[in-house]
Amino acid sequence: MTNRDRNIFTALKKNRRLAVIFITYMVLVIAGTIFCSTCFAAGDPISVVNNLSNFIFSLIRAIGLILLGLGIMQVGLSLKSHDPSQRANGFLTLAGGIIITFTKEILNLIVG
């Protein structure tokens, strides 16, 4: 476990309200992703592949939203503790979460 991970977990251990909010956020993102996108089988193989692709991209979007929430939490904690290295890690996590969240749109722009 890296020093950055220890900082997040110690902050969550110290601030129970923050931990409850973050865990609730993660559960809502995962539940919304799983229950809102369904993958139906059809007679046409192309539609089956498209449905599976939409399902996989919705799971990737859920992971991106979780990373986005984690990055926001890291930046907030770094502003509170005046830790520049944690702030940099928070902005990197935030940027990665944004990129992962919009992966499907980015790939559609590349492919055309």
Cα 5 to Cα 70: distance, rounded to the nearest angstrom: 11
Cα 63 to Cα 26: distance, rounded to the nearest angstrom: 9
- φ, ψ (nearest 5 deg) of residue 39: -120, 100
What proportion of the chain, given as a percentage, has pLDDT over 70?
Answer: 84
Helix (H, G, I), strand (E, B) or coil at 40: coil
Asked whether residue 106 carries a pLDDT value surpassing 80, the answer given is yes
Cα 77 to Cα 19: distance, rounded to the nearest angstrom: 12
Domains contained in the chain, number: 1
**Average pLDDT, stretch 93-102?**
92
Asked whether residue 38 carries a pLDDT value surpassing 70, the answer given is no
Q: At 41, which amino acid appears?
A: A
Residues spanned by the domain of 76: 3-111
The pTM (predicted TM-score) of the whole model is 0.61
